[in-house]
Chain A
Amino acid sequence: MPSKAPETETLAGTNGGASRHISRDERLIFERSAPGKRGMELPPLDVPAVDPASVLGRDFARDSIEGFPEVSEIEVIRHFTRLSTWNYAIDLGMYPLGSCTMKYNPRVNEFVARLDGLASEHPEQPAEVSQGCLRVLHDLQKCLLAITGMDAATLQPAAGAQGELTGLLMIRAYLESRGNARKKVLIPDSAHGTNPASVVIAGYEVQNIKSNERGQIDTDHLREYVKDDVAALMLTNPSTIGVFEERIAEIAQILHERGALIYMDGANMNALAGVTRPGDFGVDVMHLNLHKTFSTPHGGGGPGAGPVMVKKILEPYLPVPVVVQKESGQYALECNRPKSIGRVRAFCGNFGVLLRALAYTLAYGPGIRQATEDAVVNANYIRKHLEGIFDLPYNLPSLHEVVFSDARQKKHGVNTMDIAKRLIDYGFHPYTTAFPLIVPGAMMIEPTESESKEECDHFIIAMRAIAAEAEVTPELLKTAPHSTRVGRLDEVAAARKPILRWKP
């Protein structure tokens, strides 16, 4: 493979005109491999060498790994640096993916997460030499409880979806202790897909409930659904159309009167921090996505962290271990909690993510409200400048995000995905397409507080220009993007005959 002429083969991809990020094509690392090269050397062995076949036994020893790469350090640097230039990122510009909250990831958080004495610590080391780590966890817990107005927390869940499951298992354990776990969990049709998926793993049935014409929960309708077999309502507030559930108090009352609980998906806490507290408006259990509201980097899909906050009644059911501060002032991991739902992840959760979230919170302090305000101003500013141009299916006060639809552009044969792909040519990452499900052809825009007025203006100009193009040259949108290393990729072919690994 390496003997082929690279000019003709690998540079072909870039000749289709100007592109923003691409310098040249790059083969897979396996295609650069040649026997005898390596990119990392170890200090010499300072104890007697052993022969694996005789120590482990012939049946357990392995020969070399077929196809494994053999490349030098500089080749690794260039390979991954080149790949990185094919990505868009929040460090490059606005990333208005609604519901995903792509905000600035402070660099100091990366620095402190790598400190010797934090990154180096083993989760099983004795508490007496882990006081620093445990205090980080305890301090973060205190901050998150203050922000949410809840009573107790677990930091263990590895992501929002695992937080959902953890919260549901606690609801189940609580209801079981009262004699009946019940059968159903109610989920509005505007919810994230993780909600129903988590409900099933918690052993409950999903009961979908329709939103009303305002995209909100219809309380009369809700009353009919809330019977004695309902364990909880899973509510995203503000909802996925970026609107606060105005009748939240009544909703809480309806649930609580029948002995059911309210779970809040805190994915949109970015709109509430410092302004209102879920603990005050009737929520019994909720999770936060620290990789959203609390700025920890998404890294192309993760890691995240999904702490769960609960009211007093659910505290006995928190997963083990629980971080506590003893009377002596020492911190400890408490495992002996007989009513606990058990463990949801090995060790103490995604500590490195939790630590970054604490660094973010400390940077703002009470000023976190300003971040919320700026996020809301940005969303409303964009809404104001686009609402005459794109269809606004729910004309309700927006908080941190605004959801348009492609209804007007559809007349020209252009859909939300075409507009999204064309945005790429204007140098922006697209908004979220086709979600929430209650909006056909949804265009869900969340600028976050990290965007300047100038960046918002550029985005507005781009969206207006695309709307104009949709009327005159719809084909330009339907074949977009035109500026990237590859054009629209054939996803159908990828799924029909999956190629999931490189082979020699």
Chain B
Amino acid sequence: MRYLPKSPSERREMLEAIGARSVEDFFHSIPEKFRLREPLPLPGPLSEMEIIQYFQARAAENARGFTSFLGAGVYQHLRSVVTDALVQRGEFLTSYTPYQAEMAQGTLTAIFEFQTLMSQLTGQEVANASMYDGSTALTEAVLMAERLTGRHRVLVARSVHPEYRQVLATYAKNLGLEIKEIPYTTSGQVDQGALSSDLLATAAAVVVQSPNFFGVLEELPGLAEKTHAAGGLLVTAITEAVSLGIVRPPAEADIVAMEGQALGVAPSFGGPYVGVIATREKFVRQMPGRLAGQTADAAGRRGFVLTLATREQHIRREKATSNICTNEALYALVATIHLCLLGKEGLREMALQNLAKARFAQAELEKIPGVQRVFSGPTFNEFTLEFPRSVKMVNSALLRDKIVGPFALGTHYPELTKRALVCVTETISRAEIERMAVAVRRILESPV
């Protein structure tokens, strides 16, 4: 087997050195009735070429070569080949959590840069070095708010990503955390009128997303003021991090839970991605996840170490701030390299292109009879449209044109059937937008 570096005679030599007759000797501690007598019924073994062929065959069964107008928490953006070349260096790819700082300064320095970039991007003071993804980052942010305030109710906007809310509900269920849903208005923004002072007075946090699941930006300064006045915290989720290239950062929020996928990570059918929690310095000891900090050696040379580990499970066990151990360090590195390449101007330009393309697509689609915008609030690269027919039916027909259509909001919002969440990023050309508009028009004009 090509991954195993021992010859048959070396195996024998090693057994002899140990004083074992056969490898079976080592398994005598396993009760005999539980030891397998037959090889496992597994497919393989496959050579490298066969493995590639298997996965190429699977790739051909997917939407390869389709143009996609899906966003809803996962975004297709341009990525430089440089990022992938760098993260595939074995020294990054095949190293472990940097417990031994002296031989992990590469990872630790990159983590420190990641924390800096995430702080700058979100307008927060500190950021951790990754949660699993945006959904679990949001859940952990809420639990953090609960610890900080000692209150056990959270007010969660209905316009927060539905799958994020489902994850939060799974975690909250056994922790005595009550979740109250806050509706949205015709602008697509959270209904501030529903945030009564009674509700706010007992709430650990108000939880919103911006841009929210309908693509609409939330008015965070006002929400923060209202929440803070009642002694609660504002938790803000961000699923489309590229928006921060031109959209005002959630600086007024107390905790930001961000999905970093948009920052250079491939969609990859849902993961791995990279979640981030960013917050105020004064809350850092209640923050979950790894943190790298700057320090020095005896000679005064700058170096970085994992720090504030007394928050974490391997030290604090049942009293830890979270059970997270393995995180998404490699994708934190992807985001770091990607943002360094894009830089200040590049990120802004990418964000501007998204805004312009989404505007253009919206105008093109609104020319179709019966298609109209649903919410009046400001949007970035996603917007909600009403179709005169079922979105699923339209999408099903679009597949024949090799187009993956917009997200059908009716899946999660019964009140929003026939509403579609359209996403247009810089990866989609004007010609593709026009082709999609033509196809939608044709589908809607065809008899049912």
Contact = CB atoms under 8 A, between A and B. Distances in A.
Contacts of A297: 93-94, 330
B271 A158 contact: yes
A489 B387 CA distance: 61
B41 A499 contact: no
Nearest to A303: B272
* Best-surrounded residue of A55, A79, A248, A452 (most CB of chain B within 10 A): A55
A55 B360 CA distance: 12
Contacts of A79: 340
Contacts of B244: 62, 65
26 contacts: A12-B301, A40-B346, A59-B221, A65-B121, A70-B345, A76-B340, A84-B92, A89-B92, A108-B51, A114-B84, A118-B268, A158-B136, A192-B314, A197-B320, A274-B39, A276-B27, A299-B333, A301-B97, A302-B130, A350-B132, A352-B271, A366-B44, A374-B4, A384-B19, A489-B303, A501-B112
A193 B4 contact: no
A135 B58 contact: yes
A473 interface: no
Contacts of B249: 62
Contacts of A47: 356-357, 359-360, 430, 433
A484 B18 CA distance: 34
Interface residues of A, number: 205
B111 to A, nearest CB: 8
A499 B296 CA distance: 11
Contact of B356 (A49, A346, A351): A49
A198 interface: yes
Nearest to A80: B86
Contacts of A42: 78, 346, 349-350, 353, 426
B396 interface: yes
Nearest to A352: B268
Interface in B280-308: 281, 284, 290-299, 301-305, 307-308
Contacts of B284: 498, 500
A196 to B, nearest CB: 4
A40 B62 contact: no
Given A92-B91, A355-B55, A302 B60 contact: no
Interface in A8-46: 12-13, 16, 21, 26, 28-30, 33, 36-42, 45-46
A370 B248 contact: no
* Best-surrounded residue of A76, A81, A303, A502 (most CB of chain B within 10 A): A303
Given A202-B174, A274-B36, A303-B328, A429 B357 contact: no
Contact of B348 (A48, A64, A115, A361): A64
* Best-surrounded residue of A83, A129, A277, A301 (most CB of chain B within 10 A): A301
Given A118-B268, A133-B269, A198-B323, A64 B344 contact: yes
B2 to A, nearest CB: 8
Interface size class of B (residues with CB under 8 A): 35 or more
A365 B42 contact: yes
Contact of A364 (B1, B315, B322, B430): B1
A276 B35 contact: yes
A211 interface: no
A351 B268 contact: yes
Nearest to B109: A83
Contact of B293 (A30, A90, A494): A494
Interface in A117-176: 117-126, 128-133, 135-136, 139, 143, 146-147, 158-162, 164-165, 169, 172
A367 B44 CA distance: 8
Contacts of A362: 43-46, 50-51, 54
B29 interface: yes
A453 B31 contact: no
A453 B29 contact: no
Contact of B246 (A56, A380, A397): A56
B344 A399 contact: no
Interface string B135-153: 1100000000000000000
A199 B221 CA distance: 37
Contact of B342 (A40, A50, A84): A40
A119 B334 CA distance: 14
Given A344-B167, A500-B112, 8 more contacts: A40-B341, A46-B429, A132-B61, A276-B27, A276-B30, A276-B36, A374-B11, A490-B298
* Best-surrounded residue of A33, A66, A197, A451 (most CB of chain B within 10 A): A197
A304 interface: yes
A298 B246 contact: no
* Best-surrounded residue of B27, B312, B344 (most CB of chain A within 10 A): B344
A122 B31 contact: no
Nearest to A449: B4
B275 to A, nearest CB: 9
Contacts of A486: 101-102, 105, 297, 301-303
Contacts of A491: 101, 295, 305, 307
Interface stretch (A95-103, A253-261, A307-315, A407-415): A95-103
